[in-house]
C-alpha cells in the first residue's frame, strides 16, 4: 500500500513537472472537429474527438484554439489566424493542428472537407473544400520550431455523386520533401479508409489520447504505440501512418519518471533491410512478430513477415498492406512527375485500382494541354492562316571603298610642332579617318538618375530639421557633411 502511494506521488510529480516544462515552451494548437455536415449524414465522433484532444493538449502546455463545424471560409480564416499567432509567438513555437472529419483525395490532391460542401462533381471539391497543401504552406510561411499535423480524416467518401470516381482515402504526403521540422499522421494508411468507431471517440483518437499521456515518450514512439493499438482495435482493418522530418525531440508530456524509463527509451532508428527483419523475426510467435512489424510500419518489415509467416492469421492483412503501400507509392510518384507517360505506367501496373479512372482523366487532360516545348526550343511559331512564320535573312552589307566614305566629322587641322630649328610641314593629302560615334541610347532606356549634388556645409551650419542631427546634419560631430533637405 505504501509502495503504491509512493509510486503515485512520483508519477503525479512527474506530470506536474512535465506540464511546467511544457509551459516554458511556446506551444500553440488548432483543434477542428467537423461533425454537422449539411448535405450528408452527420459524423458523431469528430466533435467528441476535438473536445478530448483539446483537453489533452491543454494539459500538455498548449494554448488551444478549438473550432467546430466550420464552413470553408471559416476554416481558411482559422488557419490564417493560427499562422498569425505562431508568428507573434516567435520561431521557437511548436505548432500543432488536429483535424477530425471527412477528408478525400481528388486528382492526387488531399482536401479537408468543411460542413458546407455540396459537390455535384469532382471539380466542385477544389472549389468548396480546403486543400491540405494550402494548410501546410500557410504553416510553413511563418518561422516555427516544429509543425505537427494529426488528421483523423480518412473516413469513407460520403458524396454519392463522386464516390465512384474519386480515389479512396488520402494520397501519400512525404514530409521529408518539405520543410524540416514537420510531423504528419493519418488515422489510417494512404489509400485506405478509417472507421468512425462505436465508442465516444474514434479508434485513432482513443489510442492517441492514451499514448500521448505517457510522460517522456517521444512523439515517434507514441505513434508506434498508436499504430499497434488501432490495428488491434479494428481487427487489422485500420493501421495509422505517419511521415516525419523532425530534427528536434518532442514529448506531449515531458518527464523522466518510472513509466518514461520503461516505455520512453528510443529504439535504434537505423533502417533495417528485409534480410535484417527476417533474422529478427525468425522463430518468434506470429502475434509477437506481427506487433513488431506494425510498430515499425516499414515496407521491409512487412515483406519479411509475409515471407516468414505466409500461413499465419495475419498473413492476409500483411499482404494487403504491402499491396496497398506499393500502389500508393507508385501513385505518389506518378502525381509528382505529372506526365502522361507516368500515369500510363501506373495504369499498366494497376489497371483495376480505384485510381484507374483518375489516371485516365489526367492522361486526357495532359493530352489537351498545349505543347510549349517547340517555343521553348526556339522553333518558329506557326500562324494557322499564314503558315510558318520565317525570319528574313539579313542582307550582306556592301563593301565600301575609300572614295565612297564621307567622314561624319572633318579631321582637325594638323598641328605644327615646333622644335628648336625644326618645322613639321602640313601634309597636303592627309589620310581620311572615320571617327566612330558613341552608341545611341535606346528610346525606351530610362535615364540614369544621379541624385542631388553633395553640398558642403561650413562648420556650425545646421540642416533642415530643427536642431539638426548631432549639431551638423548626418556627418560625424560638428563637421556637417550631408544633403540639403
Whether residues 18 and 105 fall in one domain:
yes
DSSP structure class, residue 384 = T
Q: Report which of residues 49 and 482 the model is more confident about.
A: 49
Cα→Cα distances 3→7, 8, 15, 62, Å: 6, 9, 18, 33
> Is 100:202 a contact under the CB 8 Å cutoff?
yes
Instruction: Tell me the mean pLDDT in the region 307-316.
Output: 90
**Domain count along the chain:** 2
To 10 degrees, the CA torsion angle through 197, 200, 203, 205? 140
Instruction: Tell me the mean pLDDT in the region 423-443.
Output: 55
- List alpha helices for 190-285, DSSP H: 203-212, 219-233, 258-263, 274-281
Q: Report which of residues 112 and 423 the model is more confident about.
A: 112
Q: Report which of residues 395 and 51 the model is more confident about.
A: 51
Q: What are the tens digits of pLDDT across the range 198-250?
A: 778 999 999 999 999 999 999 999 999 999 999 999 999 999 999 999 999 99
362-371 burial string, b = 16+ CB within 10 Å, else e? Answer: bbeeeeeeee
Instruction: Tell me the mean pLDDT in the region 2-12.
Output: 44
Whether residues 257 and 334 fall in one domain:
no
In a domain, 26, yes or no: yes
Mean pLDDT taken over the chain = 79
Cα→Cα distances 353→122, 167, 328, 357, 359, Å: 18, 9, 10, 8, 10
**End of a domain among 368, 399, 432?**
368
Whether residues 136 and 224 fall in one domain:
yes
Cell reading at 122: 469532382
Identify the domain containing residue 58 by its residue range. 11-262
Whether residues 254 and 309 fall in one domain:
no
Whether residues 87 and 186 fall in one domain:
yes
Whether residues 203 and 321 fall in one domain:
no
> Is 66:87 a contact under the CB 8 Å cutoff?
no
Q: What are the tens digits of pLDDT across the range 90-149?
A: 999 999 999 999 999 999 999 999 999 999 999 999 999 999 999 999 999 999 999 999
Whether residues 251 and 337 fall in one domain:
no
pLDDT of residue 374: 54
In a domain, 107, yes or no: yes
In a domain, 29, yes or no: yes
Judge whether residue 58 has pLDDT over 90. Answer: yes
Judge whether residue 417 has pLDDT over 50. Answer: no
pLDDT of residue 178: 77
pTM beyond 0.75, yes or no = no
Q: Report which of residues 345 and 450 the model is more confident about.
A: 345
Q: Report which of residues 255 and 269 the model is more confident about.
A: 255
Whether residues 161 and 40 fall in one domain:
yes
Instruction: Tell me the mean pLDDT in the region 165-193.
Output: 91
pLDDT of residue 268: 46
Judge whether residue 84 has pLDDT over 70. Answer: yes
**Residue among 323, 318, 320, 295 at smallest CA distance from 307:** 318
pLDDT of residue 126: 94
Whether residues 207 and 300 fall in one domain:
no
CATH number, residue 137:
3.40.50.1460
pLDDT of residue 162: 87
Judge whether residue 462 has pLDDT over 90. Answer: no
Amino acid at each position: 500500500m505504501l509502495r503504491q502511494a509512493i509510486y503515485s506521488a512520483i508519477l503525479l510529480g512527474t506530470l506536474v513537472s512535465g506540464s511546467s516544462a511544457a509551459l516554458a515552451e511556446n506551444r500553440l494548437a488548432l483543434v477542428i472537429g467537423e461533425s454537422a455536415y449539411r448535405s450528408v449524414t452527420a459524423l458523431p465522433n469528430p466533435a467528441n474527438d476535438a473536445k478530448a484532444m483539446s483537453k489533452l493538449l491543454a494539459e500538455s502546455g498548449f494554448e488551444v484554439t478549438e473550432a467546430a463545424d466550420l464552413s470553408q471560409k471559416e476554416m481558411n480564416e482559422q488557419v490564417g489566424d493560427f499562422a498569425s499567432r505562431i508568428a507573434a509567438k516567435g520561431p521557437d513555437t511548436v505548432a500543432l493542428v488536429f483535424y477530425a472529419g471527412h477528408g478525400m483525395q481528388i486528382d492526387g490532391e488531399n482536401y479537408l472537407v468543411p460542413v458546407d460542401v455540396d459537390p455535384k462533381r469532382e471539380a466542385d471539391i477544389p472549389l468548396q473544400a480546403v486543400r491540405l497543401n494550402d494548410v501546410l504552406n500557410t504553416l510553413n510561411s511563418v518561422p516555427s520550431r516544429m509543425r505537427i499535423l494529426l488528421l483523423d480524416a480518412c473516413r469513407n467518401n460520403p458524396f454519392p455523386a463522386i464516390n465512384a470516381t474519386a480515389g479512396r482515402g488520402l494520397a501519400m504526403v512525404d514530409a521529408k520533401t518539405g520543410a524540416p521540422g514537420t510531423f504528419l499522421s493519418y488515422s489510417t494508411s494512404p489509400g485506405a479508409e478509417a472507421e468512425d468507431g462505436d465508442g465516444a471517440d474514434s479508434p485513432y483518437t482513443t489510442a492517441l489520447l492514451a499514448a500521448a499521456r505517457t510522460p517522456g515518450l517521444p512523439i515517434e514512439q507514441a505513434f508506434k504505440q498508436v499504430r499497434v493499438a488501432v490495428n488491434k482495435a479494428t481487427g487489422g482493418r485500420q493501421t495509422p501512418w505517419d511521415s516525419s522530418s523532425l530534427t528536434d525531440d518532442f514529448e506531449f508530456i515531458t518527464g523522466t519518471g518510472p513509466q518514461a524509463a520503461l516505455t520512453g527509451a528510443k529504439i535504434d532508428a537505423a533502417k533495417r533491410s528485409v534480410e535484417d527483419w527476417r533474422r529478427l523475426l525468425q522463430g518468434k510467435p506470429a502475434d509477437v512478430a506481427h506487433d513488431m512489424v506494425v510498430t515499425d510500419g516499414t515496407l521491409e518489415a512487412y515483406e519479411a513477415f509475409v515471407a516468414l509467416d505466409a500461413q499465419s492469421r495475419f498473413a492476409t492483412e500483411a499482404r494487403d498492406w504491402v499491396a496497398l503501400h506499393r500502389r500508393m507509392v507508385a501513385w505518389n510518384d506518378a502525381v509528382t512527375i505529372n506526365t502522361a507517360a507516368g500515369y500510363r505506367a501506373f495504369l499498366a501496373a494497376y489497371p483495376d485500382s480505384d485510381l484507374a479512372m483518375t489516371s485516365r482523366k489526367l492522361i486526357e487532360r495532359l493530352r489537351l494541354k498545349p505543347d510549349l516545348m517547340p517555343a521553348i526550343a526556339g522553333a518558329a511559331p506557326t500562324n494557322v492562316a499564314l503558315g510558318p512564320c520565317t525570319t528574313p535573312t539579313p542582307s550582306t552589307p556592301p563593301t565600301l571603298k575609300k572614295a565612297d566614305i564621307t567622314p561624319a566629322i572633318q579631321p582637325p587641322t594638323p598641328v605644327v610642332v615646333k622644335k628648336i630649328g625644326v618645322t613639321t610641314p602640313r601634309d597636303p593629302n592627309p589620310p581620311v579617318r572615320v571617327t566612330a560615334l558613341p552608341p545611341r541610347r535606346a528610346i525606351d532606356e530610362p535615364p540614369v538618375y544621379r541624385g542631388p549634388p553633395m553640398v558642403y556645409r561650413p562648420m556650425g551650419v545646421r540642416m533642415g530639421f530643427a536642431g539638426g542631427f548631432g549639431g551638423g546634419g548626418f556627418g560625424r560631430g560638428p563637421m556637417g557633411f550631408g544633403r540639403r533637405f
